[in-house]
Every structure is written in structure tokens, then in C-alpha cells.
């Protein structure tokens, strides 16, 4: 294995060390002896330098025509296409996502770049007739300013692209702080931005912990917007900090997503969706299937099939093409999952599969936990209500559609939901009544597409929709209404027009 590389911060177009000279090593979650790289352990002074650089660059970047800004993003997509396999392999090593899922993560960044590049030739406002003669009215979008982008480790390239690419096409400049557990994929995205010639200061990249980097970044007077993806607890603190200075804030946080299986469902298809939803990325997705609500008529048969199929999933090295489930991202995440499994046992739920850390020789150097299925779960149990963020799923029986919808909606979160049924009427009722930002019919709770809004209700978010749909433009721009009076006299709206 090649010697691990040291990665620097990117500030004002230069790769530089942290002001203190401190660094931290990031190890692969599949093998804690594998040093992926050494990254800057940044502090407030580094954040200050990055925000100041972004503020200076904003004055110039906002004046670059949007179609020209978009051309940089299109070229970024072209480079990502060529390096997709390289970046996917490094992502799998960096945070444990199986290789085929890592390829999908990079592909999502590619899709975002291509899609948002097209928006550079739109960024549409609208015109409308004035109520007064010889007067024109129209609207236009203005960039917000310096955007602080705080990104998670579970989609280490896709989610940074959701934030970075729309922010740039709208004329903003950014400071991005990636998760300490996955800083390399965001580094690659920033490096590509440099390669395509983005002016210095337009993108700035600072690594380090939440309090020494994230805190000063959120509170900085010149940060106009904070876009955060992570836990609801941290998101609440971000929101409170932004409220003090009326900063714009976009939050995408947790989920406790329910997949409903009705008595007329195709069980083979429902099991496929449940396996993918519950155990992809080892359950470390905000859209992961955490609850499966099954009609009592098919409950036992569904559980039998689910346990049988889940037991056959292969856990191991994410760089192995045959692997279905990789490791958890860290020792802390492993401990969290193990604690919740014990809570489930203590509450009286029955672990039908898994529930014990994998410790054999092939797993001993990483943070591996097997697919785990609980039955005999009451909807009021903690494991049925709190986000676990691991390969653990609860199966809950329901009397019928109304009962299933009631159980699904009884949650602090509202991100994703799913129903399996062959009855079109049930499907439309569920699509109407499930209180989530995303609903799937006869598909899993995961699998969002980049050109559609992504986000949820209640503790999942604060009403914004990022992803890369046109709704992202609402976050990263301000509306301006323009009135042009060419009458040659003072006209008073509402007063002269009565």
C-alpha cells in the first residue's frame, strides 16, 4: 500500500496547511490499520481566512454571467466521468460504502453538475404587466453571498455536490467543511473545481472538527447562508446560531422512514425493497428503511422471506465487488448501533437476525455489524421511534391501510416513505396521506433522483429542498423585483390607480 498522502486546506486558490500546523489521520473503517490520509486539523483562524477569501471573490464572481459560470460546472462533470472509478474506489476505502454504491455516489455528482450547468442558461425570473401605464415590471435572482456548506460522511461526494454546484451557478462563493470521517471525496470535488479554472476564493475547503471549524463558520459575520446536512440535534444548534444574525439556513437532517407492505403486495418485490432500503450503506442513510409496517395477513410470510434473504447478504471489505454490506463508518457509530440493539432487547423486541458485532478474523480490524431484524416491535418502543443509523430494521404489524398510515405518521421525522400494494386506490391514498417529503409506490424508501426536490417535514428539515432540482435555486438566491417607469412623471401605485 502506498504511503498515505497529506491533504491541505484550499483557501483563496492555494493549498495550504492549517494555521496551527496540526493534522489528523483518517483510517479506513474496514481496516483501522489502513491510513487513508492525513488532513488539516483546522481552527478559527483558518475559517477566518477562508471566509474572507470567499467574501473578496464574491464581488467578482457574482458579475460573471451565469452561462459562463455554468461552463465551469459542465467541465467538472466531464472530469468526474473520466475519474469515476478512481474516486469510487477511494470513497469505498474512505467511508466503507460498497464499491457499486460508491460508483452511484460519484454518478450523482456527475448528474448534478450536468443538470445545474443547464440552469446557468435559465435562472429564470418572470415578467408581469404593471397596473400603471408606461411602466415595466420583472423579477430576477441575486446571489446570496458567502455560503457555508457543512456536509456529512455518508454521501461524501453526492451531498457536497448538491450544495456546491447550485451555489456556484447562482453566483455565490463557498466555504465547505466536510465531515471528519470522509474528507477525501469532497477534496476531489474541490480539486476538480481548481482544475477547471474556477477563480481563487470561489471555492474554499477547510477540514477539521465541528466545534473548531463548523462553529466559527456558522457564526461568522460574513457568512450569508449555512447549508447543513446531519443530525437533527446538531441541526437545531445550527439553526439557533443562525437565528441570532438572521442568517439564511437550510437544514436536511434525520429520518425514521417507514415501508408499508399491504396484504395484496408482491412479497418478493417488497422484500427486495426492504433489503435495499434497510441495509444499503449499512443502513447509514437518512432515507434508510428503519420501520417495515406489514399487514397482519402477510406478516409471518414476509418476515420469513426477509430473514432468509438478509441472512444471505455478504458483509465485508467494501472494495470486494461481491460485498453487499460494508462496515459502519467509525467506532462511535458502531457503539451507537450496539447500544440501540440492547435497548431493543430490553424493551422486549425479538432479534430475529443479527444483533451481535462481527468479530471473526476477517472483521476484527474494522467496524462491522450484521444486518439485524427485530420483530415483536411496538410502535412506541425507542427502536421504532429514534434514528439508529445502522443496519437495524423493525418489523411492525398493522391491521390494515388506515392503521399502517397512522403508525407511519406517528414519528418526529418525515423524510421518506413507501407502500407496496397492487391496489391503485390504496397507492393514491398513501401518496396523499403519508406525511413525508418523499413517497414511493412499489419501491424502496431510498433512490431519489437529482432533478427532483429532496427533503422532508418536521425534524427532518426546515422546509427547504436541496438536491439539485430547481428548488435548490430558491435556497441559493434572493429575489429582486425591478420596476422601470418610463412615463416621465411620478406615478403612485394604488393611489393613482383607483
Q: Which residues are catalytic?
A: 252, 286
Nine cell digits for residue 314: 455478504
d(CA 498, CA 493): 9
CB 476 within 8 A of CB 126: no
Q: Which residue has the cell 459502519?
A: 328
CB 430 within 8 Å of CB 405? yes
Select from 435, 475, 477, 472 the least CA-distant residue to 451.
472
CB 373 within 8 A of CB 353: yes
Q: Which three cell numbers stand for residue 380?
A: 412506541
- Distance CA(43)–CA(327), nearest Å, equals 30
Inter-residue contact 395 to 301 (CB < 8 Å): no
* Cβ neighbours for 122, distance < 8 A, ≥ 6 positions apart: none
CA dist., res. 262 & res. 421, Å (int) = 6
- Taking the CA atoms of 37, 43, 49 and 55 in sequence, report the sign of the dihedral they define: positive
- How distant is the alpha carbon of residue 131 from its chain centre? 44
Q: Indicate if the alpha-carbon torsion angle 402, 403, 409, 415 is positive or negative.
A: negative
215 with 237: CB under 8 angstroms? no
Nearest CA to 149 out of 198, 89, 213 is that of: 213
Per DSSP, the three-state class of 190 is helix
Q: Which helix (H) or strand (E) holds 71?
A: helix 66-95
Q: Which three cell numbers stand for residue 400?
A: 390494515
Of residues 228, 154, 182, the one with CA closest to residue 391: 154
- How many CA atoms lie less than 13 Å away from 145 in the CB half-sphere? 13
> What order of strands is seen across the sheet that includes strand 5-7?
5-7, 31-40, 23-28
Specify the length of the chain in residues.
498
In angstroms, rounded to a whole number, what is the distance separating the alpha carbons of residues 191 and 82?
14
User: Are β-strands 5-7 and 257-261 bridged in parallel, bridged antiparallel, or unpaired?
Assistant: unpaired
Q: What is the DSSP letter of 384?
A: G
CA distance linking residue 94 with residue 28, whole number of Å: 5
Beta bridge partner(s), residue 5: 37
Amino acid at each position: 500500500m502506498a504511503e498515505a498522502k497529506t491533504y491541505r486546506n484550499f483557501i483563496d486558490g492555494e493549498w495550504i496547511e492549517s494555521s496551527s500546523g496540526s493534522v489528523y489521520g483518517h483510517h479506513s473503517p474496514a481496516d483501522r490499520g489502513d491510513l487513508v490520509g492525513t488532513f488539516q486539523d483546522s481552527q478559527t483562524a483558518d475559517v477566518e481566512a477562508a471566509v474572507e477569501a470567499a467574501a473578496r471573490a464574491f464581488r467578482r464572481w457574482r458579475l460573471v454571467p451565469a452561462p459562463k459560470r455554468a461552463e465551469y460546472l459542465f467541465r467538472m462533470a466531464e472530469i468526474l466521468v473520466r475519474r469515476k472509478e478512481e474516486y469510487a474506489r477511494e470513497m469505498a476505502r474512505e467511508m466503507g460504502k460498497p464499491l457499486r454504491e460508491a460508483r452511484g455516489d460519484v454518478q450523482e455528482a456527475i448528474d448534478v453538475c450536468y443538470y445545474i450547468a443547464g440552469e446557468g442558461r435559465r435562472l429564470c425570473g418572470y415578467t408581469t404587466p404593471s397596473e400603471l401605464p408606461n411602466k415595466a415590471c420583472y423579477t430576477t435572482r441575486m446571489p446570496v453571498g458567502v455560503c457555508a456548506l457543512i456536509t456529512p460522511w455518508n454521501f461524501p461526494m453526492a451531498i457536497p455536490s448538491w450544495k456546491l454546484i447550485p451555489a456556484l451557478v447562482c453566483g455565490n462563493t463557498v466555504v465547505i467543511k466536510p465531515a471528519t470521517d470522509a474528507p477525501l471525496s469532497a477534496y476531489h470535488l474541490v480539486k476538480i473545481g481548481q482544475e477547471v479554472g474556477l477563480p481563487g476564493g470561489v471555492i474554499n475547503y477547510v477540514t477539521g472538527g465541528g466545534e473548531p471549524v463548523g462553529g466559527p463558520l456558522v457564526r461568522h459575520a460574513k457568512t450569508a447562508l449555512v447549508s447543513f446536512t446531519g443530525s437533527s440535534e446538531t441541526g437545531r444548534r445550527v439553526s439557533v446560531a443562525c437565528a441570532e444574525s438572521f442568517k439564511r439556513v437550510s437544514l436536511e437532517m434525520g429520518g425514521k422512514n417507514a415501508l408499508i407492505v399491504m396484504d395484496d403486495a408482491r412479497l418478493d418485490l417488497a422484500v427486495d425493497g426492504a433489503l435495499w432500503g434497510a441495509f444499503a450503506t449499512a443502513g447509514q442513510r437518512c432515507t434508510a428503511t428503519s420501520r417495515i409496517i406489514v399487514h397482519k395477513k402477510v406478516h409471518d410470510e414476509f418476515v420469513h422471506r426477509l430473514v432468509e434473504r438478509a441472512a444471505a447478504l455478504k458483509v465485508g471489505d467494501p472494495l470486494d465487488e461481491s460485498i453487499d454490506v460494508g462496515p459502519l463508518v467509525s467506532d462511535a457509530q458502531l457503539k451507537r448501533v450496539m447500544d440501540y440493539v440492547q435497548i431493543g432487547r430490553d424493551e422486549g423486541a425479538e432479534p430475529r437476525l443479527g444483533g451481535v458485532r462481527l468479530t471473526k478474523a476477517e472483521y476484527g480490524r474494522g467496524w462491522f455489524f450484521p444486518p439485524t431484524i427485530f420483530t415483536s416491535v411496538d410502535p412506541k418502543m425507542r427502536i421504532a421511534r429514534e434514528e439508529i443509523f445502522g443496519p437495524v430494521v423493525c418489523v411492525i404489524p398493522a391491521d390494515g391501510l388506515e392503521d399502517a398510515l397512522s403508525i407511519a405518521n406517528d414519528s418526529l421525522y418525515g423524510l421518506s416513505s413507501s407502500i407496496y400494494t397492487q391496489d391503485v386506490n390504496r397507492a393514491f391514498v398513501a401518496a396523499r396521506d403519508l406525511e413525508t417529503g418523499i413517497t414511493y409506490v412499489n419501491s424502496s424508501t431510498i433512490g431519489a433522483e437529482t432533478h427532483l426536490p429532496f427533503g422532508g417535514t418536521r425534524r427532518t428539515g426546515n422546509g427547504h429542498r436541496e438536491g439539485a432540482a430547481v428548488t435548490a435555486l430558491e435556497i441559493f438566491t434572493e429575489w429582486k423585483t425591478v420596476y422601470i417607469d418610463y412615463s416621465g412623471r411620478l406615478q403612485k401605485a394604488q393611489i393613482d390607480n383607483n
